[in-house]
Structure 1
Amino acid sequence: MKKVKLLKIFMTILLVVSFFIIIQRGTFNDVSPQNIREFLGDYSYIAPIIYIIMFTFVPLTLFPDSALAIAGGMSFGIFWGSIYTIIGALCGGSLAYFLAKFLFKDLIAKLLKNKELFTTNKNGFILILTLRLIPLIPFDLISYGAGAFDIKYRDFFLATLIGIIPGVLVFANIGDKALDINSPAFYTSIIILIGLILSSKLLKKKIYKKGVNH
């Protein structure tokens, strides 16, 4: 038990120090999808691995997942960009889930708003799937909440895998088409994004007003 506590303290210190180093150095200041694409271009064949690693550690940086997903589409095209983004999102979501479950459970449980969504719903799969279908709800917030409130990992993983597909496809498509912003395909991708945002707003309003059905 003592070793577990010491490990938690060590991991907490390590994460806090890493976070402040990132903030102090401004690692993510002025970072854009185009910058990320250029960065990945330097890694040739291992660029997909670098991209997945970047996505895995997004929960520790507060960097917007959507911007990284757009960069994935710009770098690898809509098909492979979506595949790599889904893998990276699952890795990053799992990291946040286990950090919340084993290290910061009490802290996150206290800080999380709308915690009744996690505490009143017994069907973890439906809950996470519904929340994942709303891109306006921060991806990492859902992951941390799921870990803090003991959603079964199997339910969390499967619901995340299925629920992020629409959003990933939309953002990867924007990235892919953004290489030619004057093309009709790019404007179509923006219209699809607007549709996703509007439907997301309606679903989010419904969820927070009525709660997710058990």
Structure 2
Amino acid sequence: MKNKILIFILLVVGIVAFFAFDLGRFLTLDYLKSSRLEFQSFYDLHPVQAIAGYFLVYVAIVGLNLPGAAVLGLAGGALFGFTVAVITISFASSIGATIACFFSRYLFRDYVQRKFGDKLEKVNEGIKNEGAFYLFTMRLIPAIPFVVVNLVMGLTPIKLTTFYWVSQVGMLAGTMVFVNAGKELGQISSLAGIIQPSVLISFVILGLFPLVVKKVVAVVKKRKSQE
């Protein structure tokens, strides 16, 4: 019980500090774009430190369920390029999500299951019957916020190891889309750059991705029901 209280206090302190010191101002497109040359210079001189710092910040943001992950994803694409950014963000987001899932489970699962077990019955049943595929489907649907998935999954019986690897795979496509959009945005030096074909294609992909995923999930579910 004491450990739960201590962890809860640390989480609250971290979240309160984030908003009290207005740290979110560092996670806006305007700030990142205005500071891009400084970040780029630091990355050119100290690539390992830059990637490690970015990785830890990303894990902390996702692990504490704080706003800014989407902007960080775009910034990673603009700063590191496609391949490095995808690898870094893929692992950072999966680890951060697993930490958030663990906190949710460790602090609230017993209480929530006692109080709202009937309302979570559908989710628990889905995990029991479909297991990893149920989580994989939720990860692929952008309409379901990742924060909600992390917290809700922590209240279910899913194993953390399963949660991690499914999240790693399920979030990869979305990560690639965001990083590619960020990479293209990083190359824009004027308003005219917005109409470049590569930039327009990136935003078309970003817009079509949820629709394609929804269709694919529907087809897979239909096939599973027919088996």
TM-score by length of 1: 0.82
Q: Structure 1 residues 166-175 or 48-57, which shifts more?
A: 48-57
1:180-191 correspondence runs (5 A): 180-181=187-188, 182=193, 183-191=196-204
Residues 158-197 of structure 1 correspond to what in structure 2 (within 5 A)? 158-181=165-188, 182=193, 183-197=196-210
Q: Is the Cα–Cα contact under 8 Å of residues 73 and 172 in structure 1 kept in the other structure?
A: yes
Contact 2:109 2:154 in 1 (8 A): yes
Tell me if structure 2 keeps the 8 A contact 1:134–1:203: no
Q: How many Å separate the matches in 1 of 2:142 and 2:57?
A: 20
Q: Which runs of 5+ in 2 are unaligned?
A: none
Counterparts of 2:202 and 2:116 in 1: how far apart (Å)?
Answer: 36
Contact 1:101 1:150 in 2 (8 A): no
In the comparison of the two structures, how many residue pairs are matched?
203
- Partner Cα distance (2:69, 2:89) in 1: 9
The answer to whether the aligner puts 1:54 opposite 2:61 as a matched pair is no
Alignment of 1:72-87 (within 5 A): 72-87=76-91
Q: 1:117 to 1:157 in 2, by over 3 A?
A: farther
Q: Which amino acid aligns with 2:59?
A: T
Match of 2:106 among 90, 97, 102: 102
Structure 2 distance, partners of 1:40, 1:84, is 16
**Aligned residue for 1:71?**
75
- Cα deviation, residue 91, structure 1: 1.2
Q: 2:19 aligns with which of 20, 23, 26?
A: 23
Q: Which residue of 2 aligns with 1:118?
A: 123
Aligned to 1:131: 138
RMSD, matched Cα: 2.8
C-alpha distance in 2, partners of 1:117/1:50?
Answer: 40
Q: 1:33 to 1:199 in 2, by over 3 A?
A: same
Give 5+ residue unaligned stretches, structure 1: none
CA distance in 2, matches of 1:117, 1:95: 24
Measure, in 2, the Cα distance between the counterparts of 1:189 and 1:131.
23
Task: Give the letter for the 2:67 counterpart.
Answer: F
| Bigger shift: residues 63-72 or 80-89 | 63-72
| Larger gyration radius, structure 1 or structure 2 | 2
CA distance in 2, matches of 1:116, 1:167: 29
Higher mean C-alpha deviation, range 77-86 or range 29-38 = 29-38
TM superposition score normalised by structure 2: 0.78
